[in-house]
A and B are shown apart, each in its own frame.
Chain A
Amino acid sequence: MTTTPLIRVENLTKHFPITRGIIVQKEVGAVQAVDDISFEIIQGETLGLVGESGCGKSTTGRTLLQLHKPTSGKVFYKDIELSTASNAVMREMRRNIQIIFQDPYASLNPRMTVGSIVAEPLEIHNIGTAAERQERVKELLELVSLNPHFINRYPHEFSGGQRQRIGVARALALQPDFIVCDEPISALDVSIQAQVVNLLEELQEEFGLTYLFIAHDLSMVRHISDRVAVMYLGKIVELAARDELYENPLHPYTQALLSAVPIPDPVLERKRKRVILEGDVPSPANPPSGCRFHTRCPIAEAVCKEEHPEWREAVEGHWVACHLAK
């Protein structure tokens, strides 16, 4: 595996303004969905992004694709800065970076046939004639193990897993090299989840794809990722190679998360000690001072309340944002 970063994110911040007023809208605050995060994704790897609901995982993915304009910070694809790219450049860039959505029911237009859904990217970028597109669509459907005869069917005739495959085929149509998988399996049955994950892995091998894999299922992330980043309340708190992170978590939040994963062995499972966090996630519109986790942290000290923890490399390749972690 090469180590050149394909995607570089620097101090990315996304705040959604909260406005008040009927005619003249006044900004009274902001939801700090993503706050000052930096990471790199290396060519060919899968970076897992985990965290509980509402911690800004999806916003990170979408801001990275410029579906939301970032409040500040930079996103680079190779050496091209996406956050300031013109519309024309961005349009070209979209051929390289794609997204697969969480909800396979909402992500396909119910009034379009499967053929026209998968052909849509080709149409938007004026690739090929109608006949060539049709051929390409059939290829793509076969690639994701769907019957190419389904081309004239409508999304409502498919199961969730099949729909998700259609979404994958659409994302692959432009031959991208980076795909944001925004919880692609969360809405699926467990039996179907494995199919889709295996499909994603096969495609990665075949086309050398790079993934940002967003999920909240820790075992699934462990299965598919090369490196894993943990988010809490708009911040990345820990980032390390998969095994390093799962075996040697440094941040107390990561430790709490991992302690919640059940072990498929009754003897071990009985001995498993859970770190139970108290309280709820604070509102991202009004995050705690200092370390954002200090309100729920079992080992918090005075310093945590006052100072932002530094984003530092504790062990080689193992980054953490905690005052107390060694």
Chain B
Amino acid sequence: MTADKKLEKLKNAKKIGESRSPMQDAMREFRRSKIAVGGMIVVVFVAILAIFAPVFSPYGFEVQNLRNNRAKPMEGYDITETYAEEKCHWYETPLEWGCTVFIAGSDALGRDLFSRIVYGTRVSLAVALAAASVSLMIGLIYGTVSGYAGGNVDNLMMRLVDFLYAIPLLPIIILMTVYFNAVSRQGSESPLMIWLIGLDKAAGGLLFVFIAIGALNWLGMARLARGQVLSYKEKEFVEAARALGAENGHIIFKHLIPNVLGPLLIAESMAIPGYIFLEAVLSFIGLGVTPPTPSWGAMINEGYSGLRSNPHLVLFPGFALSTLTLAFNFMGDGLRDAFDTRLRGRN
């Protein structure tokens, strides 16, 4: 190395006062794991697909042409070259007879499967985001309050969690959904039901999926948050804050939540594949989204009766589902390794 280069390097070296936060450290660690970065790339890609679904999908998810039903992948129906050149503008005349090429084939109603898979990312990601943020919020607040209060309050709050854990929520959700769907078909007078139906429409028929997943998963988050708070509230820096005259709100928001949030976020990122899968399960048994909104679970359900003759109806949405859940899993693993400083042998 020449002297000039050395000088240059010295100039670029870290100046006093520049510093890496624990967050920056973690991100550096995260970037080292190829598989985690790969997972994140897939997740970001799927997110882009979801946001710009109309751009990426050749046709609308609800446009159907019964004459084109159950087309095989890459199959175009009746494309005669002259006809296609003169009359077909596929982006303008969706599913016009003789103009279509189905990249991933079409379903029983002649809807383009590829477009439906692209639109299906919206449902999966909406569920992932909504369920994660709902269970994080409830779990964080409930667990922090319980752990910080301690004593009898803690005991009572945690016994309630145990109680809810013991109830099989899925059958209750199923009953509620069936009832709700029946009422919403009939129409209702009660303001609560009207409000709920409105909310369900706004959520694209996913309201009960959100409720189900939120109700099932905040319990675990609350337990985790409580455990973390219990260990952090005995730390000396919390005692130092108390000695300085800090009030409970200050201690909770400045000292406890920032420290508890990390492990909770990691737990959420590991739980997201479960949420996506649960939505697929609910849709598979007919309790998820309302048709024609596409959901991967519902698409697999529709396709699996004809598995032998038209395997692509199950394979493509199944592939999409497993890719996304795997990607989230890898990303979650990477985040856990990056934030779990004990694995790095550092304080």
Contacts from A to B (Cβ < 8 Å): 23, 62, 65, 67, 90-92, 94-95, 98-99, 101-103, 105-113, 120-121, 124-125, 147, 149-154, 156-157, 167, 170, 174
Contact = CB atoms under 8 A, between A and B. Distances in A.
Contacts of B245: 90-92, 94-95, 121, 124-125
Interface residues of B, number: 27
A95 B240 CA distance: 13
A287 B57 CA distance: 79
Given A105-B347, A111-B258, A156-B346, A67 B17 contact: no
Given A103-B236, A109-B237, A109-B255, A157 B19 contact: yes
Interface in B215-266: 235-237, 239-247, 250, 254-255, 258-259
Nearest to B235: A106
Contacts of A95: 245
Q: Which 3 A-B pairs have the closest CB atoms?
A: A94-B245, A107-B236, A149-B17
B262 to A, nearest CB: 8
14 contacts: A67-B243, A91-B245, A98-B244, A101-B239, A106-B236, A106-B237, A109-B254, A120-B246, A121-B245, A152-B18, A152-B19, A154-B19, A154-B21, A156-B347
Given A95-B245, A109-B255, A101 B250 contact: no
Interface of B: 16-22, 155, 235-237, 239-247, 250, 254-255, 258-259, 346-347
Nearest to B24: A154
Given A111-B259, A151-B17, A98 B243 contact: yes
Contact of B242 (A67, A106, A112, A113): A67
Nearest to B244: A121
Contacts, number: 86
Given A125-B244, A150-B17, 13 more contacts: A65-B243, A91-B245, A94-B244, A105-B347, A109-B259, A111-B258, A125-B245, A151-B17, A153-B17, A154-B22, A156-B22, A156-B346, A157-B20
Given A151-B17, A154-B19, A156-B346, A110 B259 contact: yes
Nearest to B250: A124
A150 B19 CA distance: 9
A67 B239 contact: yes
Contacts of A150: 16-17
Nearest to A98: B243
Contacts of B20: 154, 157
A156 B239 CA distance: 19
Contacts of A125: 244-245
Contact of A120 (B241, B247, B346): B241
Contact of A107 (B17, B21, B240, B258): B240
Which of A62, A112, A113 has the largest count of B CB atoms less than 10 A from its CB? A112
A99 B22 contact: no
B244 A124 contact: yes
Contacts of B235: 106-107
A90 B255 CA distance: 21
Nearest to A116: B254
Nearest to A150: B17
Given A149-B16, A151-B17, A154-B19, A108 B243 contact: no
Nearest to A151: B17
A108 B259 CA distance: 12
Contacts of A111: 22, 258-259
A170 B19 contact: no
A120 B247 CA distance: 12
Contacts of A152: 17-19
A170 B240 CA distance: 9
B299 to A, nearest CB: 44
A131 B20 CA distance: 23
Contacts of B18: 152
Contacts of B22: 110-111, 154, 156
Contact of B16 (A107, A110, A113, A147): A147
Contacts of A153: 17, 19
